[in-house]
Structure 1
Amino acid sequence: MSALPGELPYSSVDPEEALKYAIQHHARERVQIIEGVIEPMTLGWDHEATASHLRCRLNDKVRALGCVMGSGDLDLPGSSNWFVPDVAVVPCALAKGGGALLPGQTLLVVEVTSEDSGDTDRVVKPRRYAEYGAPLYLLIDRRDCACTLFSEPGRLGYTRAVGPLPFGQPIDLPEPFGLSLDTSEF
């Protein structure tokens, strides 16, 4: 027997699941959930150019590691967050499963700031990515023309940060990457 209108037990609906289901099935635009607020992704070509430069610099190493790079969905279960990073590096085997991954399943997460997302990328995302175990978080801050690499995640945030380093100064990505990243074109 199905429930009649008005008889649905709303207390049995999990708000986190409902919110995340809604954005996954939103047909018109790509969105993410930041601390319970649905935010559309509005990226300009200057933003995309920065992400593209980074992808070019990482491409050979990502392939050698047996990984893939992209901007797929990252779920943060138990919270009202669903992030879409500008770049994430994940093992190929995990990328084949479809659906969202967890931040702890990535090798690297990168956010490139834009006018409307800068504060979120600087404050909320480092805390949440650390809480959910993303081993490396690279913040490319276009407002401040600097990069910061966060590592050693913990429940309260990252315990290590290198930077902010001004654009043009290389930033070293630790193993498994083991490379110095040229930031002059950011």
Structure 2
Amino acid sequence: MTTAHDHGERIGAERALKYAVRRVPGGRAEVVEGAIGHLSYDWDHERTRNVLRTQLSEVVDRLECIAGSGDLDLPGSLNWYVPDVAVVPGHLARGAGALVPGRTLLVAEVTSVPSAQTDRIVKRQRYAEYGAPLYLLVDRTERTVTLFARPGRLGYAEMDGPYPFGTAVRLPEPFGIDLDTSGF
């Protein structure tokens, strides 16, 4: 049985952890299932993120959105994510410190060796639970791209892929574009 004291301790731990992660010296960090991890990317990872952002740029502008890697809070959990790319409505980005995944139009993660399992399993589940409408997984290890849609408490109800790099991947409305994955 959970007591009010247990609930208070959990909320206190969540607040303390999320306060600490926003103040990590020397750069950005995120919290995944209660563990703080420092974000550091190799140049190939950065190149892949850039290719994705470039392809999204025209539709992002048309939708009056912002594509970036701002903080995403998952309230009630010990999670604070910094996605590789998130597309959010521009009006929500003004003055926002962190948003929740359900306020995005798309969240994308690009795997690296240390983060691959987390991106494939943990983040996919959490993004679905917190309502991110589309989750794009660019898996550099497997050299595949998968799009997940229709989020719910038990995960995403739809999965399109995995497709090998080089396959065009359709992003549904409001995007309505085919991603060219050959540059990933």
Tell whether the structures are fold-level matches, with TM greater than 0.5: yes
Alignment-derived partner of residue 24 in structure 1: 22
Alignment-derived partner of residue 115 in structure 1: 113
1:93 pairs with 2:115: no
Unaligned runs of 5+ in 2: 1-7
Q: Deviations over 1:132-159 (max 9, x none)?
A: 0000000000011000000000001000
Residues 17 and 168 of structure 1, relative CA distance in 2, 3 Å threshold:
same
- CA distance in 1: counterparts of 2:11 and 2:122, whole angstroms: 27
Q: Deviations over 1:52-95 (max 9, x none)?
A: 00111110000000101000000000000000000000001111
- CA distance in 1: counterparts of 2:154 and 2:9, whole angstroms: 31
Alignment-derived partner of residue 62 in structure 1: 60
- CA distance in 2: counterparts of 1:111 and 1:154, whole angstroms: 19
TM-score with structure 2 length normalisation? 0.94
Structure label with greater radius of gyration? 1
Alignment-derived partner of residue 177 in structure 1: 175
The worse-fitting range, judged by mean Cα deviation, of 13-22 and 74-83 is: 13-22
Q: CA deviation at 1:25?
A: 1.6
- Asked if structure 1 preserves the Cα contact closer than 8 Å seen for 2:11 and 2:76, the reply is no
Q: CA deviation at 1:11?
A: 5.4
Alignment-derived partner of residue 100 in structure 2: 102
- CA distance in 1: counterparts of 2:173 and 2:11, whole angstroms: 43
Helix, strand or coil: the match of 2:182? coil
Q: CA RMSD in A?
A: 1.3
The partner residue of 1:142 within 133, 136, 140 is 140
**Overall identity of the aligned pairs, in %:** 58
Q: Which has the higher helix share?
A: 2
- CA distance in 2: counterparts of 1:37 and 1:105, whole angstroms: 24
Helix, strand or coil: the match of 2:99? coil
TM-score with structure 1 length normalisation? 0.93
Q: CA deviation at 1:13?
A: 7.1
Helix, strand or coil: the match of 1:26? coil
Aligned residue pairs total 177
- CA distance in 2: counterparts of 1:149 and 1:109, whole angstroms: 10
Q: Deviations over 1:14-65 (max 9, x none)?
A: 1000000011122322110000011111101100000000111110000000
The letter of the residue matching 1:87 is: V
- Asked if structure 1 preserves the Cα contact closer than 8 Å seen for 2:106 and 2:134, the reply is yes
1:126 pairs with 2:124: yes
Unaligned runs of 5+ in 1: 1-9
